[in-house]
């Protein structure tokens, strides 16, 4: 009976640790575009359509994610498609509070890299 109890506890611990390895992250997009432009964002994750958001100038929007988050973004005549969360790429880069903080500017998308403690250009808008 002691072996059964030990095995049960081991199995329970293993399952809890496996579940915690797929931590939820928050992907936040902040609109810092010129001329008070609105940013339109349409995202999908794990085959789910997360809808379209209009992010006004100097505002943000966040999604809770654990899988790849791919977004179409546009402002004015400028359009692009970006993976704003990839667990393999971003789990360590966005470790601060499990948040990936993106700032969208005229020249592209900047990610706050926790290790470097600064925003760094990750994606340029197509044509730039």
Break the chain into its structural domains and give their ranges: 23-124
pLDDT of residue 40: 98
The CATH class of the 23-124 domain is mainly beta
Does the predicted model carry a pTM greater than 0.85? no
Q: Indicate the burial class of 29 (C-beta count within 10 angstroms; 0-12, 13-18, 19 or more).
A: buried
Q: Which residues of the chain have pLDDT under 50?
A: 3-21
Q: How many CB atoms lie within 10 A of CB 88?
A: 7
pLDDT of residue 22: 57
pLDDT of residue 23: 78
The tokens for 39 are 């940013």
pLDDT of residue 5: 40
Q: Indicate the burial class of 12 (C-beta count within 10 angstroms; 0-12, 13-18, 19 or more).
A: exposed
pLDDT of residue 118: 95
């Amino acid at each position: 009976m002691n072996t059964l109890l030990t095995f049960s506890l081991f199995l329970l611990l293993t399952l809890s640790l496996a579940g915690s390895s797929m931590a939820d992250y928050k992907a936040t997009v902040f609109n810092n575009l010129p001329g008070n432009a609105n940013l339109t964002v349409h995202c999908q994750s794990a085959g789910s359509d997360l809808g379209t958001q209009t992010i006004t100038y100097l505002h943000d929007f966040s999604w809770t994610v654990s899988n790849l988050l791919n977004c179409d973004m546009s402002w004015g005549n400028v359009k692009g498609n970006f993976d704003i969360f990839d667990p393999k790429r971003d789990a360590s880069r966005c470790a601060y509070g499990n948040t990936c903080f993106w700032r969208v500017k005229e020249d592209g998308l900047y990610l706050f890299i926790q290790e470097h403690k600064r925003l760094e250009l990750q994606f340029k808008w197509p044509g730039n």
